[in-house]
Amino acid sequence: MKVAFFLTPKTDVVFLQANSTMRQAIERMEHHRYSAVPVLNSEGHYVDTLTEGDLLWQLKHSPGMTFADTQNVRLSDVPRRMVNRPVHIDAEMDELLGKAMDQNFVPVVDGRSVFIGIVRRSDIIRYCLQLVHEQRHGHTRPVVQAVTPPPLPTTTPV
């Protein structure tokens, strides 16, 4: 199984531009209720992942910094505590799983190293839960049941 099976495409991912400010990051993360987001450069390449912890450590190590001051601090000036390396879209599951153990999501890049999306750890766990259920019960049952819309009314041709 390949990474692409689990991919959440870039169009569905909240991310920040590398030239963003701390304030923009704080507000965007708060709005979407995310504790970590990918950071991309102007060419669309994955740069790194910014976490709430990175922002808090920057505040702690900047005596006198106010929230208003965060609009003058570029993300490139905020040190990262962890280095989250992306996986290639053609990576195998063992590489993906190794990275997913330590981070909420794994950034995914294409052959030109352009960011194309993420794989969420929760999606991997949901898939594994499905496999466990299938092994235990010998049949397939969706872990998350889809809502089936009511049938459309049928009409008789005149």
Compute the distance between CA of residue 40 and CA of residue 113 in angstroms, rounded to an integer.
11
| pLDDT tens, N- to C-terminus, the chain (158 residues) | 778 889 999 999 999 999 999 999 999 999 999 999 999 999 999 999 999 999 999 999 999 999 999 999 999 999 999 889 999 999 888 888 888 888 889 999 999 999 999 999 988 888 888 888 888 887 655 555 444 444 444 333 33
Cβ pair 47, 39 in contact under 8 A: yes
| φ and ψ of 106, to 5 deg | -115, 120
Q: What is the amino acid identity at position 51?
A: T
Looking at the structure of the chain, the number of domains it has is 1
Query: What is the domain-level CATH number for residue 106?
Result: 3.10.580.10
Domain for residue 70, yes or no?
A: yes
Domain for residue 151, yes or no?
A: no
Cβ pair 19, 42 in contact under 8 A: yes
Compute the distance between CA of residue 120 and CA of residue 106 in angstroms, rounded to an integer.
7
Domain for residue 148, yes or no?
A: no
Domain for residue 18, yes or no?
A: yes
Question: Residue 124: which domain range?
Answer: 3-137
What is the pTM (predicted TM-score) of this model?
0.79
Q: What is the amino acid identity at position 24?
A: Q
Domain for residue 20, yes or no?
A: yes
